[in-house]
Copies of this chain bind each other. A is one copy, B any other.
């Protein structure tokens, strides 16, 4: 038995023994997702136990070094863990921006001290992070951000306003882009800092979306004191960290729909609602639209697989991440439009038990944000035309 085979056998056995039955049920809604953190209310003992057991193995962050609370797994081992979890439908034990974003940034840019301070609590699900990037006048043009951190000798004094801070009202700490040198050119003079959301002077206000959810906040900083050693990477070089994370974020988008459509094929779903004639969807235009969408999606998945294979071979993804971000989100929007076409009147009910409070329409509306957040489709196309195609500026 090879090492990997043995790892698989042991993992399977461990999961079988340690994953509570309840944590093998499909996720029913956002509340079944465990975000962790100081304010987290576990939905059940099983949810708590599962998180703790996985954290103890380091498997909440399988590939992070063990010294920082991770599992220290190789990519091959991590893939096996993932497969074995999927095999029994095990839920993700805990996840938040600490895992997706801050961790990778700290591992690449952070000092050993910062890693030791922040990574273990993330792995244990104790601290939930949020991201402070956009500002009202710095959206697509993120580098024009104006939140200032003044050097007061032994600390920074932060003043300004962020917007689109995901779950800022529920997070414990924030990683945040601030301007530390107002005289430098736009992309310079920005630093990437970390601070506790309970620091005096931090206030948040949830933003209600058109989908009815409030996953984002406005966040205000009024004379917030931040330690000077809370800077990730070099002072005034925070844009490098931000760029790295944005690319990383875009890479994570594989075009698979979240929520209700996750794992559901659109064609058979449509058949339930619009009916069939001779085994084909009764709405033949919808049938053609779905087949075209699914064809495009299959092509997209082939591209994602190719890019991933190349990345694993060390060829790097680079600006292609903009391609994936652009096309994956546009596909997702098309998919939700067709879902709404298929569901007709039944998809439109908003305040009803039948639709679990308008779940279908809400997810459709929420999908519209996909091509805005994390870099708009227009910005992505600009990146592609400049950095991939090499087209010149005017």
Contacts and interface: CB of A to CB of B under 8 A. Distances in A.
Contacts of A280: 284
Nearest to A278: B277
Nearest to A288: B285
Contacts of A289: 288
A345 interface: no
A48 interface: no
How many protomers of this protein does the assembly include?
Answer: 2
Interface in A323-337: none
A284 B289 CA distance: 11
A287 B283 CA distance: 12
A394 interface: yes
Nearest to A292: B285
Interface string A277-299: 00010001101110100000000
Nearest to A287: B284
A287 B285 CA distance: 8
12 contacts: A280-B284, A284-B284, A284-B285, A284-B287, A284-B288, A285-B285, A285-B287, A285-B288, A285-B291, A288-B288, A288-B289, A394-B394
* 8 A-B pairs with least C-beta separation: A284-B284, A285-B288, A288-B288, A284-B288, A284-B287, A394-B394, A284-B285, A285-B291
Given A284-B287, A288-B288, 5 more contacts: A280-B284, A285-B285, A285-B287, A285-B288, A285-B291
